[in-house]
Amino acid sequence: MRCLLVDDDFATLNVLKDFINWELHGIYEIDTACNITTAKALIRENVPDVIICDIEMPKGTGLDLIKWVRDKKYKCQFIFLTCHEKFEFASTAMAYDAVAYVTKPFDSKKVENAITKAVEKIKMEKRVDVYSQHSKYWLESRAFMEQGFWRDLIFYNIFPQVNHIENEIKKRHLSINTKDRFFLLLVSINGSQPEELSWDSSLFSFAFSNMTSEVIFGEPDFCRSLNYTRNGSFYNVAVLPDDTGMADIRSKCMTIIRSCKEYLQCEATCYISKQEEIQNLAKIREELEQADEENIADRGKIILLEEKRGSEAKGSYSIDISLFNQLFIKGDKLKIVNTLKSELEGLKKENRLDSVTFHSIQHDFLQVVYSFLYKNEVQAHILFLDQISKKLYRNAENSLFDMMKWAAYITNKAIDYIKELQQSESVVEKAKRFIQSNYSKDITNQDVADHVFLTPGYLAKIFKAETGQYINNYINECRINAAKELLLQSDASISDIALQSGFDNISYFSTVFKKITGDTPYEFRKKNRQ
């Protein structure tokens, strides 16, 4: 440890420095200063553990020095020396947490006792700091251990029997009573919503989890608040004690739903269980997730699991396929979408819209669309290969809104393409452009048909009617035209030109070339260059 002696009397400084057994107190470095200015400079350079200071000095008192040290938050123990035993000096010194107040003339024993007191106080404060740090680490570790316990419990990593659960609680040194009962609160956000907002998935999960935990428990990342993703949805499950009032839970759910809409621009749904024993929580978590998967009509609301259990399954439902077939033939896109929307909203109003019904309606509608395209010889599975179609199809069963987005998109795409198809020139031109861009590759009739979403036979029929050519002949014509340019404008070998033009066989290239031009490639180059 280090000690600083401050006194304007050099004799006093020398006596203190030479006649105190400093090493006995663990003090091995002694600095001296004869005024406050020098003392401050030494303190700034290297903060001492103990300061022994005269109170009455010119150019600043010892009380001025202790006030300055305390303002700067330096941790130093003060011992004051003075010739006058004045109460106001002593009271001010004690107010600034001085260890001792020694009057002159003094003897070494009095000073030694004061130093002993100061050193003990330093040691005690260091122990308190260490204990405080250990306590902080222990609390953090305990919170981490408890969060791990709840996660293991509700995901079946702990066998759901009371004796197994009690053993885990003891093993992790937790204070959880297995006789208590708990509520589970599940907050769900459909996974397609962050994608639509261009959220980074991990960032969204972090923001959603912290916000939910803070609303429920008053602090983010609380040990009884667990976030996870499953089946494309974001979940946060909270374990609430049985003394939590239902009115309080509902109020917090409303805050979560409102905050998700305002700050995360997404729709949250809250599912609340009844009070359950600790060994049943994993099973209840599964039931809450199942309720979320089956929830179509009540997104953005508070759902009580008991009420969900009491409702009967709605069963399957079929749309009027004949009506929709007629609407597709007429090409009435608006009426198709509005008819489907009215039907779904009617089912919702009658409380008949569940996941089974929703699934049935989606597949009936898809059947109508595929049948419509098939009659027009369009390959539906290729028409809907784009990423938007795939994404909307995946999300369609999440909510009524998602279903209508998907239905409107595929309706518009199917009818618009049939209208384009009926103007055969546009489809043939599209096929010709594809051939012109890809003749150098190993393309087939099937490749060209796929590009315009038609069956090969139907495309061949309208292509021949429009151009008077078969598709294979048109491909060869494009290749030979390219070969003619290369023969005239480059010195490449005929075999290289054949490959560049899309022929992998020079003999076949020469045969086709002569059939179209009347000359072999060699003759064509020689004749036209001359």
56-78 pLDDT per residue, tens? 888 888 888 999 998 988 889 99
Residue 48: cis peptide before it, omega within 30 degrees of 0: no
Of 388, 407, 422, which residue sits at a domain end?
422
Distances (CA, A) of 323 to 98, 221, 372, 460: 94, 53, 13, 33
Of 126, 158, 189, which residue sits at a domain end?
126
End-to-end CA distance of the chain: 105
Clarify whether residues 294 and 280 are in a common domain: yes
In a domain, 496, yes or no: yes
pLDDT of residue 313: 47
Domain of residue 418 covers 321-422
In a domain, 150, yes or no: no
In a domain, 26, yes or no: yes
Clarify whether residues 289 and 234 are in a common domain: yes
Clarify whether residues 299 and 363 are in a common domain: no
Clarify whether residues 401 and 469 are in a common domain: no
Clarify whether residues 438 and 415 are in a common domain: no
pLDDT of residue 88: 63
Distances (CA, A) of 458 to 167, 234, 330, 454, 475: 72, 46, 22, 7, 17
d(CA 420, CA 358): 32
Note the helical H segments in 353-505.
355-375, 380-383, 387-395, 400-422, 424-438, 445-451, 456-467, 471-489, 494-500
In a domain, 280, yes or no: yes
Clarify whether residues 439 and 465 are in a common domain: yes
Positions in the chain whose pLDDT score sits under 70: 84-90, 94, 106, 131-140, 192-199, 307-316, 423-425, 530
Beta-bridge mates of residue 304:
272
What letter would DSSP give residue 405?
Answer: H
Is the CB of residue 287 less than 8 Å from the CB of residue 306?
no
- The pTM assigned to this predicted structure is 0.50
Tell me, what CATH number does 218's domain have? Answer: 3.30.70.270
Clarify whether residues 278 and 336 are in a common domain: no
Secondary structure in 3-state letters for 132-166: HHHHHHHHHHHHHHHHHHHHHHHCCCCCCCHHHHH
Of 422, 448, 483, which residue sits at a domain end?
422
pLDDT of residue 195: 61
In a domain, 500, yes or no: yes
d(CA 8, CA 12): 8
Tell me, what CATH number does 475's domain have? Answer: 1.10.10.60
In a domain, 138, yes or no: no
User: What is the percentage of the chain residues whose pLDDT exceeds 70?
Assistant: 92
pLDDT of residue 310: 46
d(CA 406, CA 403): 5
Number of domains observed in the structure of the chain: 4
What letter would DSSP give residue 295?
Answer: -
Q: Specify the pairing of strand 29-33 against strand 2-6.
A: parallel
